A = this chain, B = another copy of it.
Amino acid sequence: MTEQQNRRLGEFELIEWIREQAGTGTHLTLGIGDDCCIQRLAPDQELLTTTDLLIEDVHFKRQWTSLYDLGRKAAAVNLSDIAAMGGQPLSLYLGIGRPTTLDDSQVKELLSGFIYQTRLAGAVLVGGDTCGSPGPLMLSVTVEGSIPCGCALRRDGARVGDSIYVSGTLGDSALGLKHLLAGKEPSADLAARFHTPEPRLELGQWLVAEGLATAMLDVSDGLISDLGHILQSSAVGAEIALERLPLSAAFARELAADRALYDLALAGGEDYELLFTAADSGLEQRNVEFPVPITRIGRICAEPGLRIVQADGTAYTCSKHGFDHFAGS
């Protein structure tokens, strides 16, 4: 046995450690340790599933983040896809392609962050895979969740006249990344939005329970791109008001000095806020304690395409298109 191997837990020992940490759930007949995990779904529920890859130097840089936060984020961005349908996460699966430079304590740190975020969502880590990677650190995440039959909020339900809402604030994560790319330390608020986004599970489930939303997704590629998916799937157009975009105090401060930062709120990516449409145009003024604030930013129209209108009535043209991790602003 080489020293390298000595420094590494056997796969089975690691699985045992994970099993102890991972917790359990009433839906779970059999968890980690067999060929498959076995689950039961309540008969009135549908199954939601989503999967994602996260690759070092494509989706994250290890010098910018603790492995604990990386584990949290890997879980969170996938949980956000369950939130985006209005579902409840049940089970998470984590595959780790581990470079030789990642020792056991680092793997455990990564897993601890992943499990923390998983439990926070009321879900359980029930399976996965670890193997060596001759290249970068690679993570694959799968999440299964449940939702009452027929209630999932899809992208194709937006109707002409619907209001468009977004949760939380936009652009913070992208602004945090902009600072990191420039070699500057972002403020704690912005850094947290970039490193440890919060999936908006409660809001998604509340919207399903109230039956208020007609279409929904999470903003991962940027508002313009993701709203574009709703418009295309629903065969409608939209108008949004630039000055209505919800911005954090930290973002607004920097925007005051550089109006071009609006592009980050429009197309920055990794917001992980919920973007949804609803017939009710005064939803945010209801006497309801929302799990996270929501803001009406525009409306769905029959005319195809997306128009971004400024306070003076003129159109705003975003110079940033799509979202590419680390492509800079």
Interface, chain A (partner B; CB < 8 A): 29-30, 33-41, 43, 46-53, 55-59, 81-82, 84-85, 87, 91, 93, 95-97, 126-129, 131-136, 138, 140, 142, 144-145, 147, 149, 152, 154-155, 217-218, 233
Q: Nearest Cβ in chain B — how far from A150, in angstroms?
A: 8
- Complex: how many Å from CA A128 to CA B56? 18
How many copies are assembled?
A: 2
Q: Nearest Cβ in chain B — how far from A327, in angstroms?
A: 11
- Complex: how many Å from CA A145 to CA B47? 12
Q: Are A49 and B131 in contact (CB under 8 A)?
A: no
| Cβ–Cβ < 8 Å partners of A35 in chain B | 50, 81-82, 84-85, 155, 217-218
Which of B39, B52, B87 makes the CB contact (< 8 A) with A47?
B39
Which of B34, B48, B95 makes the CB contact (< 8 A) with A53?
B95
- Complex: how many Å from CA A50 to CA B49? 13
Q: Are A140 and B95 in contact (CB under 8 A)?
A: yes
Find the B residue at minimum CB distance from A95: B53
Q: Are B50 and A36 in contact (CB under 8 A)?
A: yes
Q: Are B132 and A135 in contact (CB under 8 A)?
A: no
| Cβ–Cβ < 8 Å partners of A93 in chain B | 49, 51, 142
Given contacts A46-B29, A50-B127, A51-B127, contact A36 B82 (CB under 8 A): yes
- Complex: how many Å from CA A154 to CA B31? 11
| Cβ–Cβ < 8 Å partners of A218 in chain B | 35
Find the B residue at minimum CB distance from A82: B36
Q: Are A38 and B47 in contact (CB under 8 A)?
A: yes
Find the B residue at minimum CB distance from A152: B38
| Cβ–Cβ < 8 Å partners of A52 in chain B | 95, 129
Find the B residue at minimum CB distance from A226: B35
Which of B36, B84, B152 makes the CB contact (< 8 A) with A85?
B36
| Cβ–Cβ < 8 Å partners of A144 in chain B | 47, 49, 144
Given contacts A53-B95, A134-B57, contact A38 B30 (CB under 8 A): no
Q: Are A134 and B50 in contact (CB under 8 A)?
A: no
Given contacts A52-B95, A53-B140, contact A36 B87 (CB under 8 A): yes
